């Protein structure tokens, strides 16, 4: 609450009262420091809910605060005399860049559009009296809040044990006595917290007393004093019981999304589940003896070949050959694939894609619709029926592909991002993809840079989502080549796509 550092990061478990701290800081900045505040939440909907539930209710309980603000009618802008509180969502075109502020609060950073966030942070770096507060439950290591946390002082809450008087902290599992065997076991109730040093029980009811002896302590040498970063978990919570924690722990043993929930929301720690990220060992097991230089397919042959293109300044391209023993439903599951070529072409040279279409005798190509939709459209028009544009959407069901023609009659497929990346990366785990022995380092890195995690949707339910920890273009090129398989089969066998999903 009283940090004077220009940059503050809070990597925290859920419901630790940290948002309340941020709201207090926002009011303090407006009332006393007379400076503008930009309060950012993941989405515009989050921002609206926050504005009415948290902001307006604070005013309802405080005459002082309601007198401070002269205009509170607009959802995303609250005005006090001469200063403003902007409340915005990070996604879409909320245009955080254009808002002139010296205090920025980012609440639930890991759920935000990371690109927008880094841009906003860059802009603030020029201000002398800047102040940044980044708050979030973590998701995966080295991403979002965990990445920021590691750049700062990394302070933990260190308190004095009422039994042994030693300075200690609550950490899992050292400080918990687990009772019971499973989530339904009534014995879970008997679980309790204990001191890491003397192992004596630390009672839930006595927490307010012994935790108030605490201090934020950093054990990082040579840390940047201008960036204070804090960590806190639910073992410190007055309202979450040891029983709650133990049941959440048992739930996590059985289920991947619950394991994320336990580590992220209860322990406030980043977490990677099994099978959530590729590594070199998993990639190497798919390498075979052939190379990308092997002879090209002959014209008019009956090989089934698709191409995926992730477009941008550079176009990233993946060319796949497919082998199907038993055609029919769930083609992406029954087919085995062989990466016969991957590489890049300049984004300014779309006609290079035409050459690749002929060189590799492509049955079907799927290309990212954005950012250069006009180039993609022209490319599709040069190969009618053989090129489909693609857009990701959250909330499509399974591997469903919805194809609509735009006003220029270009086919655009809408697909669920998580499910199709699952299908693509699943091949690497189950060894249903062959890779050439000269596969590029860049391709490997991009496929390792995309990590599966769980992020809460607007209703608070965990949803699987891939996030990137670095450049990931080839992962998407590969996914587009995968999506192109049922599209190719549909044309070759003259059947609707549905027959292959």
| Residue ranges in contact with Zn ion by CB under 5 A | 161, 163-164, 195, 197-198
Integer Cα distance of 82 and 468 in angstroms: 40
Distances 376 to 318, 351, 381, 472 between C-alpha atoms, Å: 16, 11, 9, 20
Q: Strand 83-89 and strand 37-41: pairing?
A: parallel
Integer Cα distance of 310 and 386 in angstroms: 16
Integer Cα distance of 166 and 178 in angstroms: 23
Q: Is the Cβ of residue 210 or residue 383 nearer to Zn ion in the bound state?
A: 210
Q: How far is the CB of 194 from Zn ion (least distance, A)?
A: 8
Q: Is the Cβ of residue 198 or residue 403 nearer to Zn ion in the bound state?
A: 198
Q: Report whether 266 contacts 253 (CB < 8 A).
A: no
Integer Cα distance of 249 and 190 in angstroms: 15
Integer Cα distance of 45 and 87 in angstroms: 11
Q: How far is the CB of 180 from Zn ion (least distance, A)?
A: 24
Q: Report whether 110 contacts 139 (CB < 8 A).
A: yes
Q: How far is the CB of 264 from Zn ion (least distance, A)?
A: 28
Q: Is the Cβ of residue 175 or residue 307 nearer to Zn ion in the bound state?
A: 175
- Residue 104 corresponds to which tokens in the numbers above? 């920025």
Integer Cα distance of 222 and 239 in angstroms: 36
Q: How far is the CB of 154 from Zn ion (least distance, A)?
A: 23
- Residue 264 corresponds to which tokens in the numbers above? 């992220």
Specify the DSSP element, H or E, that contains 423: helix 417-429
Reading across the β-sheet that carries 201-202, which strands appear in turn? 176-177, 192-194, 201-202
- Residue 125 corresponds to which tokens in the numbers above? 């770096």
Q: How far is the CB of 168 from Zn ion (least distance, A)?
A: 6
Q: How far is the CB of 166 from Zn ion (least distance, A)?
A: 6
Q: Is the Cβ of residue 130 or residue 163 nearer to Zn ion in the bound state?
A: 163
Cβ neighbors of 355 (< 8 A, separation 6 or more) are: none
Q: How far is the CB of 178 from Zn ion (least distance, A)?
A: 19
Q: Is the Cβ of residue 159 or residue 360 nearer to Zn ion in the bound state?
A: 159
Q: Is the Cβ of residue 161 or residue 357 nearer to Zn ion in the bound state?
A: 161
Residue 174 Cα to chain centre, angstroms: 29
Q: Is the Cβ of residue 195 or residue 380 nearer to Zn ion in the bound state?
A: 195
Q: How far is the CB of 163 from Zn ion (least distance, A)?
A: 4
Q: How far is the CB of 175 from Zn ion (least distance, A)?
A: 10
Q: Report whether 362 contacts 319 (CB < 8 A).
A: yes
Q: Is the Cβ of residue 5 or residue 217 nearer to Zn ion in the bound state?
A: 217
Q: Report whether 229 contacts 162 (CB < 8 A).
A: no
Q: Is the Cβ of residue 35 or residue 167 nearer to Zn ion in the bound state?
A: 167
Q: How far is the CB of 199 from Zn ion (least distance, A)?
A: 7
Residue among 229, 251, 45, 51 nearest 144 (CA): 229
Q: Cα dihedral angle (465, 145, 91, 374), rounded to 10 degrees?
A: -70
Q: Is the Cβ of residue 140 or residue 161 nearer to Zn ion in the bound state?
A: 161
Angle (CA) 38 136 72, round 5°: 30
């Amino acid at each position: 609450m009283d940090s004077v550092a220009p940059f503050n990061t809070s990597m925290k478990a859920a419901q630790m009262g940290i948002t309340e701290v941020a709201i207090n800081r926002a009011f303090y900045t407006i009332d006393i420091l007379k400076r503008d505040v930009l309060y950012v939440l993941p989405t515009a909907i989050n921002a609206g809910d926050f504005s009415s539930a948290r902001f307006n209710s604070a005013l309802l309980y405080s005459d002082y605060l309601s007198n401070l603000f002269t205009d509170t009618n607009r959802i995303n802008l609250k005005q006090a005399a001469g200063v403003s509180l902007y409340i915005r969502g990070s996604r879409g075109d909320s245009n955080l860049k254009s808002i002139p502020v010296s205090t920025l609060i980012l609440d639930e950073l890991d759920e935000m559009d990371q690109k927008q966030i880094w841009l906003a942070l860059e802009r603030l770096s020029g201000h002398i009296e800047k102040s940044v507060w980044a708050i979030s439950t973590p998701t995966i290591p080295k991403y979002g809040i965990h990445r920021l946390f590691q750049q700062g002082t990394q302070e933990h809450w260190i308190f004095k044990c009422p039994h042994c008087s030693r300075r200690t902290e609550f950490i899992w599992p050292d400080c918990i006595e687990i009772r019971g065997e499973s989530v339904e076991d009534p014995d879970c109730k008997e679980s309790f917290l204990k001191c890491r040093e003397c192992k004596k029980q630390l009672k839930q009811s006595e927490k307010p007393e012994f935790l108030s002896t605490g201090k934020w302590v950093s054990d990082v040498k040579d840390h940047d004093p201008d960036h204070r970063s804090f960590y806190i978990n639910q073992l410190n919570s007055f309202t979450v019981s040891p029983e709650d924690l133990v049941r959440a722990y048992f739930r996590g043993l059985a289920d991947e999304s619950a394991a994320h929930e336990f580590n992220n929301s209860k322990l406030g720690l980043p977490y990677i589940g099994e099978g959530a990220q590729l590594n070199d060992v998993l990639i190497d097991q798919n390498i075979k003896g052939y190379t990308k230089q092997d002879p090209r397919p002959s014209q008019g042959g009956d090989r089934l070949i698709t191409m995926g293109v992730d477009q941008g300044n550079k176009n990233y391209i993946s060319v796949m050959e497919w082998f199907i023993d038993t055609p029919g439903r769930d083609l992406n599951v029954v087919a085995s694939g062989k990466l016969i070529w991957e590489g890049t072409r300049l984004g300014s040279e779309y006609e290079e894609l035409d050459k690749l279409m002929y060189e590799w005798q492509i049955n079907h190509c799927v290309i990212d619709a954005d950012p250069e939709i006009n180039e993609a459209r022209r490319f599709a028009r040069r190969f009618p029926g053989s090129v489909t544009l693609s857009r990701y959407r959250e909330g499509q069901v399974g591997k469903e592909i919805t194809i609509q023609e735009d006003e220029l009659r270009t086919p655009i497929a809408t697909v669920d991002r998580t499910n199709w990346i699952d299908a693509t990366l699943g091949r690497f785990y189950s060894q249903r993809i062959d890779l050439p022995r000269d596969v590029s380092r860049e391709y490997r890195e991009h496929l390792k840079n995309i990590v599966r995690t769980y992020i809460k949707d607007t209703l608070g339910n965990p949803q699987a989502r891939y996030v990137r920890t670095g450049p990931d273009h080839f992962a998407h090129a590969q996914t587009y080549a995968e999506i192109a398989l049922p599209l190719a089969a549909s044309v070759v066998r003259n059947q609707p796509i549905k027959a292959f999903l």
